[in-house]
A and B are shown apart, each in its own frame.
Chain A
Amino acid sequence: DIQMTQSPSTLSASVGDRVTITCRASQSLSNWVAWYQQKPGKAPKLLIYKASTLESGVPLRFSGSGSGTEFTLTITSLQPDDFATYYCQQYSSQLTFGGGTKVEIK
């Protein structure tokens, strides 16, 4: 099975900060990576797929990049609504989620 290692596990940031979350895969994925946002008590929300394609309705401050084994999610100017947990997911071979990154208020 493909493993997804996400870092950091927790990130403290302030409104307006630029935030970057990284995901490393145990083998090459081409660009078959997605990113989700999850808030407490809610289902995950798809933000990005194919490593860099923004899902409809997702704010432009979210962006994704990477290919092969290393991928990043960037939030250019953190907003109050963005404090949440973020997960990467590979879908090159079945599906695997990363361990998650909690973005908390500094």
Chain B
Amino acid sequence: QVQLRESGPGLVKPSETLFLTCSVAGSSISSGYYWGWVRQPPGQGLEWLGAVYHGVDTSYKSSLKSRVTISVDTSKNQFSLKLQSVTAADTAIYFCARSQCSYALCPFDLWGQGTLVTVSS
């Protein structure tokens, strides 16, 4: 059974960098899927941030492209999200997820439980 789990600081100061990790259990992160991040501000809707494939291809939401980096660490079987220059608007629950298709960016069929990150001084 494949499981994803997010980890990282729950509080980040404005202008600093948010860094989250998603640990994958039960599947190799090199198994041919896209792995992505989605966030949800409290009480609001879902926002796709980006995804990575095999550490070879990345795709980012256009409006966040200058601040977002998603990368893979195959030795630890995990992938990570880096979001620079955060503001209060980046306060959200951050989910990691796996795309259901092999070799293509598709809907996410597996999700982590989500982790709340608050941006505040």
Q: Chain A: residues with CB nearer than 8 A to chain B?
A: 1, 34, 36, 38, 42-46, 49, 55, 87, 89, 91, 94-100
B7 CB to closest chain A CB, in angstroms?
Answer: 15
Q: What are 30 of the A-B contact pairs (CB < 8 Å)?
A: A1-B61, A34-B107, A36-B107, A43-B97, A43-B112, A43-B114, A44-B46, A44-B95, A44-B108, A46-B107, A46-B108, A46-B109, A49-B100, A49-B106, A55-B109, A87-B45, A87-B46, A89-B46, A89-B107, A91-B105, A91-B107, A94-B59, A94-B105, A95-B105, A96-B48, A97-B38, A97-B46, A97-B47, A98-B45, A99-B45
Is A91 within 8 A of B59, CB to CB? no
Contact check, A97 vs B107: say whether CB atoms are below 8 A apart.
no
CA distance A102 to B67 in the complex (A): 31
In the assembled complex, the Cα of A42 lies from the Cα of B59 at a distance in Å of: 25
Minimum Cβ distance to chain A for residue B64 (Å):
11
Complex CA gap A70/B62 in Å reads: 24
Which residues of B47-76 are within 8 A (CB) of A?
A: 47-48, 51, 59, 61-63
Within the complex, the shortest CB–CB distance from A74 to chain B, in Å, comes to: 18
Query: Closest CB-CB distance, A44 to chain B, in whole Å?
Result: 6
Contacts of A38 in B (CB 8 A): 46
A89 to B45, CA, bound (A): 12
Given the complex, which residues of A lie within 8 Å of B112, measured CB to CB?
43
Chain B residue numbers with a CB within 8 Å of A46 are: 100, 107-109
Least CB distance, A52 to chain B, in whole angstroms: 13
Q: Are B114 and A94 in contact (CB under 8 A)?
A: no
| CB atoms of A44 and B45 under 8 A apart | no
**Known contacts A46-B107, A49-B106, A97-B45, A1 near B62 by CB under 8 Å:** yes
